[in-house]
A and B are shown apart, each in its own frame.
Chain A
């Protein structure tokens, strides 16, 4: 069955900045249509992991395969590999001197050498899907944070990537804009897009993930389906991490008890 063939396979990945070991022997597989959500404390290496997959960071050892081809061997041409890997960053980096449509078409036209009418039709369909077709001639500065991030997602999607990487894409958004961006990603999951998502939105992680990867200090501590991970985390570190998101209600009449503890 083709569904079992991994789109992305990482084997024993090591990454360090000078002396600081950020990723220490990480292995994982993403199958076609699978949604992996990577969570963990700050500095655990989750963003670095995404940047390594997209070749934005050199790695020290290990192997990354995309559809069975190694992309870490010296022969890999990163600009071609990246056309198959869509990435959306935390700081929605649209190109400020181009309008929405030009932003989206830059990759398809210049990197992929596609024809404008066909690429533009696809871009319009995608913009329509995220509810921004009427903004196609707007410039980034005329858009809200949530709108910019949706355009950034469309820009990555328009390259028809094999896999999408999301690096804390809602972390710098106002709360009321987080939802519109997460809804777009949920929509992608429904359509069977293969994705690796780094996020701090736990409710969203639970809703969208096929599998939760919990990272700490550069290694995968726990890897489980979302229900299992959030209900019965196996590791002590995962339990501690999840407790951060859990607030015990402290009511006035209980103040007395709390002080005694």
Chain B
């Protein structure tokens, strides 16, 4: 692992993140904006599937998830920049490991939704109720999203003791 981290620090991306004082704060701001957009668009769709929002056909609301996909890409890019700038903070951090687990669970949950439920959900009318199985997936999606946020916030408090980075 140490050799891999040493290699990361030789990359141009790592130099870019560490050599300019404004890169880290701007990336953090973008990461938070992206997280908010992702949580809002996915959350709104999940609330509709759960039945808390009525009057909009889930199919019509689904189009906003494109914004969520863009937000996820921005999150991933800025996340890679953080890792390239302060690798030890992430690779030796239990909160980061758990965050990755939640991200994988989110992805698997989304895949399950599109595989098993999406066709039926897309056909629902504005006032129709989603099936129980789709509601379970939507509820799990919200739980995993909160898990990602919780672990992301806890990250700095689980830094390895030898780390003295940004």
A binds B: no
